[in-house]
């Protein structure tokens, strides 16, 4: 597990800060309509949803699309959350429909933030329309931890956008701004190699 140095961001936050980055603050009760949809303002306070590039006012609740792009808030009654009680599921459409699913939020990145980290996965992360390259930097029991360098945008205000492209299926959770830089790829490779050698040594010892 990677130990993170985090910038604390409360749920209420300041008027310029990001909120509900772990998706744990829906406005309850969530009562789905006949299409299993709920208002996005209740399901994902602070967030804007986009399907096929256009804003939406409703998202699914424990929904799973069979072809079209979809945003869904998931709890334990649906696709298992990564952590806590809720995660967001972003599904791009099948290739024939060419539709993306995205969630975004406008706020100010902390002035001392060096990296953006999140659990799960996503096709593309951007801020103010600029793509933030990201890579796997760690893992938990049932998820991957991704991180990207956000230092060029520290202190700036804009929209942070997470997008799933067609044929992509991602669960997203626990978005964090960190005061730690993203490790160099070489360091990550050495860390992974060390873990592999350690596991091999334990396997050899146990087989004797």
pLDDT tens sequence across 130-157: 999 999 999 999 899 999 999 999 999 9
The stretch 109-120 carries a mean pLDDT of 97
Nearest of 160, 171, 175, 163 to residue 72 by alpha carbon = 171
- Per-residue pLDDT band for 207 (boundaries 50, 70, 90) equals very low
Q: Which two tokens stand for residue 7?
A: 């910038």
What is the pLDDT at residue 175? 98
Closest CA to 103 of 192, 25, 24, 43: 43
User: Taking the model in full, what pTM does it have?
Assistant: 0.83
**Positive or negative, the Cα torsion across 107, 93, 25, 31?**
positive
Distance from C-alpha of 81 to C-alpha of 4, rounded to nearest angstrom: 21
Q: Give the end-to-end CA distance of the chain in Å, rounded to a whole number.
A: 29
Q: What percent of the chain has pLDDT over 90?
A: 75
Q: How far is CA 95 from its chain centroid? A: 22
């Amino acid at each position: 597990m990677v130990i993170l140095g985090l910038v604390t961001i409360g749920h209420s936050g300041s008027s310029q800060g990001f909120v509900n980055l772990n998706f744990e603050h829906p406005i309850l009760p969530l009562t789905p309509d006949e299409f299993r949809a709920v208002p996005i303002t209740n399901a994902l306070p602070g967030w804007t949803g986009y399907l096929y590039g256009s804003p939406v006012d409703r998202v699914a609740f424990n929904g799973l699309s069979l072809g079209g792009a979809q945003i869904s808030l998931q709890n334990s009654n649906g696709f298992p959350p990564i952590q806590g009680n809720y995660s967001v599921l972003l599904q791009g459409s099948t290739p024939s429909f060419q539709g993306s699913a995205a969630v975004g939020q406008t706020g100010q990145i902390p002035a001392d933030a060096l990296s953006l980290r999140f659990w799960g996965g996503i096709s593309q992360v951007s801020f103010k329309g600029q793509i933030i390259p990201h890579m796997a930097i760690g893992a938990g029991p049932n998820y991957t931890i991704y991180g990207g360098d956000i230092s060029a945008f520290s202190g700036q205000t804009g929209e942070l956008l997470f997008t799933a492209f067609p044929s992509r299926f991602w669960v997203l959770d626990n978005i964090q701004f960190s005061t730690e830089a993203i490790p160099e790829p070489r360091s990550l490779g050495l860390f992974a190699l060390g873990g592999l050698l350690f596991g091999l040594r334990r396997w050899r010892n146990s087989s004797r």
